[in-house]
A and B are shown apart, each in its own frame.
Chain A
Amino acid sequence: GQNIDQPTEMTATEGAIVQINCTYQTSGFNGLFWYQQHAGEAPTFLSYNVLDGLEEKGRFSSFLSRSKGYSYLLLKELQMKDSASYLCAVGSRGSTLGRLYFGRGTQLTVWP
Chain B
Amino acid sequence: EADIYQTPRYLVIGTGKKITLECSQTMGHDKMYWYQQDPGMELHLIHYSYGVNSTEKGDLSSESTVSRIRTEHFPLTLESARPSHTSQYLCASQSGGAYEQYFGPGTRLTVT
Residues of A within 8 A of B (CB): 4, 8, 31, 33, 41-45, 48, 87, 89, 91, 96-105, 107
Kindly report which residue of chain B lies nearest to residue A41, judged by CB atoms. B105
Interface of A is mostly: strand
Docked-complex contact B42 and A102, CB < 8 angstroms: yes
Q: Which of A4, A41, A98 contacts B101 (CB 8 A)?
A: A98
Q: Which of B5-59 contact A (CB under 8 A)?
A: 31, 33, 35, 40-43, 45, 48, 50, 56, 58
Docked-complex contact B105 and A48, CB < 8 angstroms: no
Q: Which of A8, A89, A97, A103 contacts B31 (CB 8 A)?
A: A97
Docked-complex contact B100 and A43, CB < 8 angstroms: no
Q: How many residues of chain B get a CB closer than 8 Å to chain A's CBs?
A: 23
A25 to chain B, nearest CB (A): 15
Given contacts A8-B40, A45-B100, A99-B58, 4 further A-B contacts (CB under 8 A): A42-B90, A87-B42, A91-B99, A104-B41
Complex contacts, A4 vs chain B, CB 8 Å: 42
B65 to chain A, nearest CB (A): 18
Q: Which of A42, A44, A98, A102 contacts B99 (CB 8 A)?
A: A98
Complex contacts, A105 vs chain B, CB 8 Å: 40, 42
Docked-complex contact B45 and A99, CB < 8 angstroms: yes
Docked-complex contact B40 and A104, CB < 8 angstroms: yes
Name, among B42, B100, B103, the residue most crowded by chain A CB atoms within 10 Å (CB to CB).
B42
Docked-complex contact B50 and A97, CB < 8 angstroms: yes
Docked-complex contact A45 and B101, CB < 8 angstroms: yes
Complex contacts, A102 vs chain B, CB 8 Å: 35, 42-43
B38 to chain A, nearest CB (A): 10
Complex contacts, B48 vs chain A, CB 8 Å: 97, 99
Complex contacts, A98 vs chain B, CB 8 Å: 31, 94, 98-99, 101
B86 to chain A, nearest CB (A): 16
Complex contacts, A41 vs chain B, CB 8 Å: 105-106
Name, among B40, B90, B98, the residue most crowded by chain A CB atoms within 10 Å (CB to CB).
B40
Complex contacts, A45 vs chain B, CB 8 Å: 100-102
B46 to chain A, nearest CB (A): 12
